Amino acid sequence: AISKKAGMIPLQMELGGKDACIVLDDADLELAAANIVKGSFSYSGQRCTAVKVVLVIESVADILVKKIIAKMSKFTVGAPEDDCDITAVVSE
């Protein structure tokens, strides 16, 4: 129905359970960078669904990497009670 009219092609990708984020060249790169960082580091990255692989179109890869680095450079690392971004999940 709609997929035939839109010319959509069914596609299944096996990514090995690596929780990939796919970024195309028409993506909002600021939004993509924010979601990649959030998806990678929420709960200090200690969750099974954390983003582990980013597949990005080469023409926007350098821009995306710069945006991700800019966001990550603002992270603080330390104890949870210090309201840090990256903390230990287990203390013992």
Q: Which residues are catalytic?
A: 14, 48
- Cα 88 to the chain's mean position, in Å? 20
Cβ density class 34-53: b for 16+ within 10 Å, e for less: eebbebbbeeeeeeeeebbe
Chain centroid offset of residue 13 CA: 17
How far apart (Å, rounded) are the C-alpha atoms in residues 53 and 71?
17
- For residue 28, give the 3-state DSSP assignment: coil
